[in-house]
Amino acid sequence: MPLDATDGRRRWMSVLAQAAPGDLAGSWSRLPALPAYELLRRPETGLVMVRGRVGGDGAPFNLGEMTVTRCSVRLEAGPCGHAWVQGRRPDHAERAAVLDALMQDPERRQAVAAEIDRLEALTIHRRDEAARKSAATRVEFFTMVRGED
Amino acid sequence: MYVAVKGGERAIDAAHRLMAEERRGDPATPELSLGQIAGQLGLAVDRVMTEGSVYDTELAALAVKQAQGDLVEAIFLLRAYRTTLPRFGASEPVDTAAMAIRRRISAAYKDLPGGQVLGPTYDYTHRLLDFALAADGDVPWAEASDTAVADVMPRVADVLDREGLIEANPTGGGPPGDLTREPLTLPAGRDLRLQNLARADEGFVLALGYSSQRGYGNTHPFAGEIRMGEVTVELVPEELGFPVAIGTVTVTECQMINQFKGSKDIPPQFTRGYGLTFGKSERKAMAMALVDRSLRARELGEDAANPAQDEEFVLMHSDNVEASGFVQHLKLPHYVDFQSELEMIRRLRAAGQQLEPAPAGDWPVEGPRAGASVSQAGGCPRPAPEGQRQ
């Protein structure tokens, strides 16, 4: 796969994984009738070791694990889809894997891409709201001036 | 010597049912949901995730509920559950410089790019009990600013780094050691020490950090920077070969800046201690950074005479699941051990007083008492590290 195609897939897989489960379920129900697919790997929950870096930017170390669910599917038409999503969420992983496969199907891609954009916008909106609430707690220092002048 | 003692099953079942009833409390009071625990007892859930070493708010909330709020018991439950799941792999190291900041403060610089962002904090509260919370009062909504906090905030340490006034962090090396896979061997590298401290009991690490401040150590710390927020976790799936984001985790990071006099080869410069935890766990992250720095005493040519600087003392006693298990195993039947010690004492006394030994096992019951159907070991061995138990 060419580099820019990989970048595109990287983006949409990240959006699908990080979407709120309710938002992804909404996108799923809005899409036109989905093609049949088979499960290459049924949704399976396990652990991924999360790594940090010494001092934030040094050598890696193991911080602790997180739960992750993965799933792989194949559409009738051919393309395979994969998903790795945080938490114990078999439905979310299966839907994300199917949408990943649909994004590789030129005929169905457009409708799915619109949902990916929508999911991304929802995630960005949520983050922006949190970032604006934090910004309201930013300290504005003012200096007391003492003396004659 | 092992002696099977049977007969306690019925009592144990009844005890567990009694415990479940107590856990539920007054049936006239609504039962707690996991959402309530995760949402309203979030800091308890964060501690369980950090020390249980599994980031999953639902599982941690369940553990808190099941353990009736006993967080060390909840941590044990989460650790036990993790052994039932397969390990898929390891993430790319999270980039805390790219954190979606919710809190970021520095006690070293007043004005720094991105500013001091207090975020949700108990600092500056008066610690007066708030009876409004007892009366189901309305919660004031947090105001939002028109502009968001800066996307990327430089680390405070990077400011010092540009002038060469602070040591560089160690880089390179192969994949980090994992003490859940291999038993801890000493001396341990910084990677294993940090993993151990991240999982370590908060109270233990807090007390050690405190001891280092009071003079049992030599850290002279400044809280260079504390930041809390969400970082993206990326992983390279085997079937793809390129990294994808799989989710976000909340973490708290603490960079302590410490003194160092310098040596023949190194000019005087600040040294670092580092703390990183899951969730909002600021006290733990700060204490971890103090102890991380203390454990570097030998590396930095300092005297290492205090507990917080003693790698074996710190790393071998920091885990509350191991510590709790070994302390609490004393509750299990030790009837035969005790009986033999009892006889020994009688013999010694008799020999000292030139008297005949008294008949053994005559009080309070004959021989081993009825109890749990567990085996008892003579001369209890030390527990194996977690890696050896798997």
Residue range B85-139, pLDDT digits in tens: 999 999 999 999 999 999 999 999 888 888 999 999 999 999 999 888 888 777 7
Place A5 in a pLDDT band, splitting at 50, 70 and 90.
low
Q: Which strand (E) or helix (H) includes residue B275?
A: strand B271-278
For B74-87, write each residue's pLDDT tens digit: 999 999 999 999 99
Q: How many CB pairs under 8 A join A and B?
A: 232
Q: What are the chain A neighbours of B248 within 8 Å (beta carbons)?
A: 18, 86
Residue A136 lies in a domain: no
Mean pLDDT of B214-221: 84
Residue A3 Cα to chain centre, angstroms: 20
For residues B176 and A60, the answer to whether their CB atoms sit within 8 Å is yes
Residues 6+ apart with CB under 8 A from A36: A75, A76
**Is B245–A14 a contact, with Cβ atoms under 8 angstroms apart?**
yes
Q: Which residues of A touch B269 (CB under 8 A)?
A: none
Best probe of the A interface among B47, B149, B179, B193, by most A CBs < 10 A, is B149
Does any domain span residue A139? no
Å between A137 CA and nearest CA of chain B: 5
The confidence band for B367, taking pLDDT boundaries of 50, 70 and 90, is: very low
Distances, alpha carbon B171 to alpha carbons A32, A60, B188, B255, in Å? 50, 8, 16, 17
Q: What is the pLDDT of residues A44-57, one digit of tens each?
A: 999 999 999 999 99
With cut-offs at 50, 70 and 90, classify the pLDDT of residue B357.
low
Whether A138 maps to a domain, the answer reads no
The single-letter code of the amino acid at B55 is: Y
CA distance B368 to chain A (A): 43
Q: What's the pTM?
A: 0.89
| Cβ A85 vs Cβ A48: under 8 Å | no
Contact check, Cβ <8 Å, A86/B253: no
* Closest in A56, A70, A82 to B88, CB measured: A70
Closest in B169, B230, B278 to A64, CB measured: B278
Tell me, what's the pLDDT at A96?
97
Chain B CA closest to residue A3:
B242
Asked if B322 and B386 touch (Cβ cutoff 8 Å), the reply is yes
CA-to-CA distance for B21 and B12, rounded, in angstroms? 14
Residue B366 has pLDDT above 50, yes or no: no
8 Å CB contact of B233 and A72:
no
**Mind giving me the DSSP string for chain A?**
--HHHHHHHHHHHHHHHHS-HHHHHHHHHHS--PPPEEEEEEEEEEEEEEEEEGGGTSSEEEEEEEEEEEEEEEETTS-EEEEEEESS-HHHHHHHHHHHHHTTSTTTHHHHHHHHHHHHHHHHHHHHHHHHHHHTTB----PPP-S--
Tens of pLDDT along B296-329?
A: 999 888 888 999 999 999 999 999 999 999 999 9
Quickly state the pLDDT bin for A97 (edges 50, 70, 90): very high
| Domain-located, residue A86 | yes
For residue B377, what pLDDT is reported?
44
Contact B56 A87 (CB under 8 A): yes
Q: Measured between CB atoms, does B204 come within 8 Å of chain A?
A: no
How far apart are alpha carbons B53 and A63 in whole angstroms? 8
pLDDT at residue A134 greater than cutoff 80: yes
Q: Which residues of A touch B192 (CB under 8 A)?
A: 61
Would the CB atoms of B115 and A139 count as touching at under 8 Å?
yes
Site from B34, B54, B56 to mutate, A interface, most A CB atoms within 10 angstroms: B56
Q: Do A60 and B89 touch (CB under 8 A)?
A: no
Residue type at A129 in one-letter notation: E
Whether the predicted pLDDT of B376 surpasses 70: no
Sorting pLDDT into bands at 50, 70 and 90, what band is B361? Answer: low
Q: Do B96 and A68 touch (CB under 8 A)?
A: no
pLDDT for position B381: 56
Question: Least CA distance to A132: which residue of chain B?
Answer: B148
E strand segments, B131-270: 222-235, 244-258
pLDDT for A124 equals 95
Contact B274 A56 (CB under 8 A): yes
User: Using a CB-CB distance cutoff of 8 angstroms, which residues of chain B are in contact with residue A63?
Assistant: 94, 194-195, 198, 251, 276, 278
A123 touches chain B (CB under 8 A): no
Residue of B88, B198, B199 lying closest to A46 (CB–CB): B88
Structural tokens at position A6:
């990989």
Domain membership flag for residue A145: no
Domain that holds residue A82: 3-120
Take residue A126 and report the two structure tokens written for it. Answer: 């949520």
Is A96 among the domain residues?
yes
**What is the average pLDDT across B144-170?**
87
pLDDT(A74) > 60: yes
Q: Å from A83 to nearest chain B CA?
A: 8
| Mean of pLDDT over chain B | 88
- Cβ within 8 Å, pair B237-A82: yes
Residue of A nearest to B103 (CA): A134
